[in-house]
Structure 1
């Protein structure tokens, strides 16, 4: 039997840290202390982030890209083909080890925001840098305007309708989301938000990426979609969640209850089965745990399974695998096409990059792709926060509404907004 002590803060991914790049590091690169090679190396990149940069921190590395050398075009070709073309073009133009960073939207037919940066600096992971333990600066007081879209009662009604349709046998799961629209009286402090997100959950996946003229996608996701290093594949689906408790005893009680929740275990099993089915045509030696363990973030407990596999064909890239997996039932539902239809009918907004994927890939096909959750899109003085909950036949509308509210806390804490 699993217990609450079976906790993994974050699952190791398939690629090691890259302490250097073929591009010059720049005058503000970290200068590690003798005997402490990781001291300040990752947090220097975190501090150097400016709006318009491409910042991505994973449990294996920290990346900071500036400018654009090659942009992935939007056309009728498969996304992985276009990505391979951009990486090949960057190599032909003198980049010895090109690496691409960016975001893919929830709708795979919509334009992606993927590019090889003109300047790329890399460092070790944030958890390996002792400086990450220093507290972030508190956000300056802001008189935020906050609007819920949809309103909580409308969201709960959408959940109730979906549950009714499931009991009628139409589908078995759908992930329904809602948003908070925050408006500040002045410019947003994006570097401060990214710093607070990274220091709050340094073992996760923190990102800040340009996704259009004047728009930035930023967040801190706990969920690895898939990573590839050579022939080794790792996926870490998360499904089934509960908010953290206010004190230690309540926190442990909630974690233990999640591990035994029939509703959440069923929801998790559906996602794990879908990931296994999607990876099977590409991989061999697939290893799937018989029961999930737990992953914790600053605000949530999640059921987690680490799936590993071997990749026999080196021509299959990390992005090929990510596209085969996307979207999993953890962010969409099942069956996928019908769940997409329910999402379009129920959610009064375009998800954009929310529940898409963010990540990196190199010219050898290695990379890490992460599910885009715990995120927001920033533009001018506005932030749109996103949060979703998996709805199954045993779901209760108020519980799912409360779960999305708890998930908003990751970002609300980063901006200092009271709600």
Structure 2
């Protein structure tokens, strides 16, 4: 007698095994909640922007009915703008393990790179000044402006090796590698990164969001780091920027949740390269069975938060389109997974890059509010590039 697919015991793997097994074309996601590696495609999830959670629920139900992968999930990424590319699939094989653990970080290979800023640094600071004029004129309260780098290596970039260095450098980050190849691409394309920012996580009827906004670079000196953490907590400008983001996230989750808890004061979390003001928001879903209350449904409702867009959102999106010369693509979108029960984890697609053979494209942004200094915002983007540049062996260059 066969055992139904959804009741078969799942094999037990180690996080390190799944990381070592990743190959381009697979789908990888890890965090402190666990590690997921998926392969193959049982279904491609379509749906219009804002309605993909319903399409995902239908795809998962259909795959489960025909006996697809045990513990099926939808995994993938959505771009920043509603019309941006989207990659959402139900994989054929899903393997899970615990969270990554500390391990030595492999050295990046020595190689020659050419780096092209998109735009040039001076053009970015000019855009910040133009954004400040919009803020002073009352059209915006906040807008997040990003700039890009395009790196060309002297040979193909190994995505598995890059992913391994990102996971080992910060096992607590939300690391991912998602195949985002599209028709017309001359070579396979992978979205890879290690995001510090949890957009939303769901377990049963419990949800967690952890918006980040307000940042300072981390350094090698412990005493100076303590000073920077204190300065971040005391900064009126950084706290104002963070308050916009936390309030926006709480407002959206309040439409879905009861007993929503929003801490009165932010805390500070650190990555290997940055310090961020952080607010951990928790709540209980009022209607957990609804597709719109799935992890993906909540993520769609939250996206884009003021952490990557601005306030008010529509005006900020228009300003971003006018002031940023390069399209963001998947940067500042969302990446993650949702299972058939609606549980899952979605993060903001920052500290990320798109890799295609020897070309690597990455972005970093900074929140512009009244009182922002264009040169300091440029420095902030430079610091945020370091997560990927270090993993590529090009730290300090920007």
Q: State the TM bucket, normalised to the shorter chain.
A: over 0.9
Identify which range, 105-114 or 400-409, moves more after superposition: 105-114
- Structure 2 match to 1:5: none
- Structure 2 match to 1:130: none
Q: Any unmatched runs of 5+ in structure 2?
A: 1-5, 183-187
Normalising by the residue count of structure 2, what TM-score does the alignment of the two structures yield? Answer: 0.93
Q: Distance in 2 between matches of 1:414 and 1:291?
A: 33
Q: Distance in 1 between matches of 2:48 and 2:174?
A: 29
Shift of 1:108: 2.5
Asked if structure 2 preserves the Cα contact closer than 8 Å seen for 1:21 and 1:120, the reply is no
CA RMSD of aligned residues (A): 1.6
Asked if structure 2 preserves the Cα contact closer than 8 Å seen for 1:282 and 1:311, the reply is yes
Q: Distance in 2 between matches of 1:60 and 1:268?
A: 25
Asked if structure 2 preserves the Cα contact closer than 8 Å seen for 1:193 and 1:414, the reply is yes
Asked if structure 1 preserves the Cα contact closer than 8 Å seen for 2:84 and 2:330, the reply is no
- Structure 2 match to 1:37: none
Total equivalences in the alignment: 382
- Structure 2 match to 1:268: 242
Q: Distance in 2 between matches of 1:134 and 1:102?
A: 27
Runs of 4+ in 1 over 6 A off after TM superposition: none
Q: Distance in 2 between matches of 1:134 and 1:392?
A: 39
Q: Would the alpha carbon gap of residues 352 and 23 (structure 1) be closer, same or farther in structure 2, given more than 3 Å must change? A: farther
- Structure 1 match to 2:135: 166
1:333 aligns with 2:305: no
Query: Which residue, out of 309, 333, 342, partners 2:283?
Result: 309
- Structure 1 match to 2:82: 108
Q: Distance in 1 between matches of 2:362 and 2:227?
A: 29
Q: Distance in 2 between matches of 1:228 and 1:55?
A: 19
What are the equivalent positions in structure 2 for 1:231-380 lying under 5 Å apart?
231-314=205-288, 315=290, 316-380=293-357
Q: Any unmatched runs of 5+ in structure 1?
A: 1-19, 31-40, 128-132
SS at match of 2:41: coil
Q: Distance in 2 between matches of 1:104 and 1:22?
A: 31
Query: Which residue, out of 178, 183, 195, partners 2:152?
Result: 183
Shift of 1:365: 0.7
Shift of 1:93: 1.7
Q: Distance in 1 between matches of 2:26 and 2:240?
A: 40
- Structure 1 match to 2:185: none
Asked if structure 2 preserves the Cα contact closer than 8 Å seen for 1:99 and 1:362, the reply is yes
Asked if structure 1 preserves the Cα contact closer than 8 Å seen for 2:71 and 2:94, the reply is no
Shift of 1:303: 0.2
What are the equivalent positions in structure 2 for 1:60-139 lying under 5 Å apart?
60-75=33-48, 78-95=51-68, 96-127=70-101, 133-139=102-108
Asked if structure 1 preserves the Cα contact closer than 8 Å seen for 2:85 and 2:330, the reply is no
SS at match of 1:94: coil
User: What do residues 46-96 of structure 1 show as CA deviations (whole Å, max 9, x unaligned)?
Assistant: 111111110000111100111111111255781111111211121112034
Q: Distance in 2 between matches of 1:272 and 1:303?
A: 10
Query: Which residue, out of 369, 375, 378, partners 1:398?
Result: 375
Q: Distance in 2 between matches of 1:266 and 1:24?
A: 46
Asked if structure 2 preserves the Cα contact closer than 8 Å seen for 1:70 and 1:89, the reply is no
